[in-house]
Amino acid sequence: MAGIPDILGELTEDDIDWLLACGERRPVPTGAILIQEGVPAGCLFIVLGGAFDVSAAGLGAKAFDTCSAGDVVGEMSLVDARPPAATVTAVMDSVVFAIPMEALAAKVELDRGFSARFHRALAVFLSHRLRRHESVARAAGDIELAGALSGNVHLARARFDRLVSRLEGERPSVVLTGSDLTIEAVVRVVERRAPVGVSSAARSRIKRSREVVDRLASGQQRIYGLNTGLGA
């Protein structure tokens, strides 16, 4: 399977912060079924550690693929809204990061920028997997894909490592990015006292905006409400 680093290379720091706030870390013991063929999974999974076999009833229930740290599973149900076509089973004690499909669908609907980045990454991911399973075109496909992703691979792997390390610590349940705040998130803060954080990218935008305001305030140009006072 193609790995999540390919997807992370297409996303932004705001996107990564949202993933951390939305998803959760889940242990999967040896022999446990992560995804059952024909049964809606409800989540998109990123494998953080361990290994899984992928099998299908139509292939005699034998493993035809494996996935390990960095791989993503459950993506086909996200694309076509149909039940999984394969079963994914842990072959050793493993850990995954689970992102609810419902939350991901809402994010895609609300945030057009994220939607464009995520769907492009998903398209590359699915293309990579298809090419790997086409023995005739495998060599040519790997070469083409390497050229398409070479600019993002180091960034993607660094983001994956950071995703794993940040999951070990405490994280805010609502992250402000400036583009996708929902009513549900506001309710969690007001009624449930959910902790709130600001993404690093949003902090950078705030800092740049403040620098612009400070520069204008120190100049000679009269700007209502900034250096003239209100009602002037």
Residue 168 has pLDDT above 70, yes or no: no
Rounded to whole angstroms, how far apart are CA atoms 125 and 128? 5
Residue 55 has pLDDT above 90, yes or no: yes
Residue 97 has pLDDT above 50, yes or no: yes
Cβ–Cβ under 8 Å, residues 120 and 12: no
β-bridge mates for residue 3, sequence order: 71
Residue 48 has pLDDT above 80, yes or no: yes
Most distant pair of Cα atoms in the chain: their distance? 80
Rounded to whole angstroms, how far apart are CA atoms 161 and 75? 21
Q: Kindly report, residue by residue over 118-139, the tens digit of the pLDDT.
A: 888 888 777 776 776 664 344 4
Residue 94 has pLDDT above 90, yes or no: yes
What does pTM read for this prediction? 0.63
The domains of the chain, with CATH numbers, are 4-173 (2.60.120.10)
β-bridge mates for residue 46, sequence order: 72, 97
Crossing angle between the packed helical segments 101-110 and 112-132, to the nearest 10 degrees: 120
Model pLDDT, residue 156? 64
Confidence of residue 53 (pLDDT cuts 50, 70, 90): very high
50 backbone dihedrals φ, ψ, rounded to 5°: 95, -160
Model pLDDT, residue 10? 76
